[in-house]
Structures are given as C-alpha cells and as structure tokens.
C-alpha cells in the first residue's frame, strides 16, 4: 500500500491557481448565457406578439428584479467575452507560459470587473 496517497481529500483546503478560477468562471458564465438566452427569447417573442405583450415586457423590465437579472446576464456575457478574447490571444501563441497565463487571468478579472460595473451604471 502506497503511504503517499492522501487519506482524506478535503476539497475546501485545496488552493487553486488564478488561471483555474478564470477557466471555471468562463465555463460558468457560458452556462449562465445558455440559460439566459431562453429568458431573453421569451421576452422578445412576447414583445413582438402584440402591443399588449410589448407593454407587459416594458413594464416588467422596469422592475428592480428584472434589471438585476438583465445585469446578471450582461455580466456573464462581458466576462465570457473577455475570457474568450484571452483564449483567442493564447491560441495565437501569446501568453502560453505560466506567468503569462497568470497575468492574462488577472487582466481578464480587472477588465471584466470594470465592464460589469459600467454595465450596472448603464442599466440603473
């Protein structure tokens, strides 16, 4: 029996690198966008069906909860966009080193945070 094996793997104590958090959040934002498209398409379909439907969607989008949902979807889109651009840059061979990956992840977090704050200001 190998004594080097971990006896109890506690996932809460494992420290992931910043590149892992960036990758995990990129995947999560993609799932959020996939699910959010259904909400947005429903609103679009309802607003195009009739004048009454358009008025209902317009009234719904004026509520703070709807603004928060739209901001959440827009936040997911902006993060996914910035992380996707990072991946495209890495596909060109730029930033493929460990230090380049860490710097790229930090830049993605900073740029996405700025864009998300600006989107929140724009929505409210």
Q: Residue 4 has what pLDDT?
A: 76
Q: Residue 121 has what pLDDT?
A: 97
Q: Is 80 annotated as a binding residue?
A: yes
Which residues are CB-contacts of 40 (< 8 A; sequence separation ≥ 6)? 73
Q: Residue 75 has what pLDDT?
A: 97
Pick 46 or 16 by higher pLDDT: 46
d(CA 44, CA 117): 25
Task: Determine the 3-state secondary structure of 63 from DSSP.
Answer: coil
Question: Residue 82 CA to chain centroid, in angstroms?
Answer: 9
8: phi then psi, degrees, rounded to nearest 5: -135, 110
Evaluate if residue 1 carries a pLDDT over 60: no
Query: What is the model's pTM?
Result: 0.85
Q: Residue 60 has what pLDDT?
A: 94
Band (pLDDT 50/70/90 cuts) for residue 13 is confident
Question: Residue 81 CA to chain centroid, in angstroms?
Answer: 8
Neighbours of 70 (CB within 10 A): 17
Give pLDDT tens digits for 76-124.
999 999 999 999 999 999 999 999 999 999 999 999 999 999 999 999 8
Evaluate if residue 7 carries a pLDDT over 90: no
Pick 2 or 107 by higher pLDDT: 107
* Paired tokens of 57: 């969607």
Q: Which domains can be identified in the chain, with CATH numbers?
A: 19-123 (1.20.1300.10)
């Amino acid at each position: 029996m190998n004594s080097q094996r971990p006896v109890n793997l506690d996932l809460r104590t494992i420290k992931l690198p910043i590149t892992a958090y960036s990758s995990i959040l990129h995947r999560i934002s993609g799932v959020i966008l996939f699910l959010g498209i259904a909400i947005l398409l429903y609103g679009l379909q309802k607003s195009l069906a009739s004048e009454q439907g358009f008025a209902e969607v317009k009234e719904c989008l004026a509520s703070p909860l709807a603004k928060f949902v739209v901001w959440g979807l827009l936040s997911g889109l902006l993060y996914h966009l910035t992380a996707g651009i990072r991946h495209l840059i890495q596909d060109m061979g730029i930033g493929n080193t460990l230090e380049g990956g860490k710097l790229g992840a930090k830049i993605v977090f900073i740029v996405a945070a700025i864009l998300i704050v600006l989107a929140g200001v724009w929505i409210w």
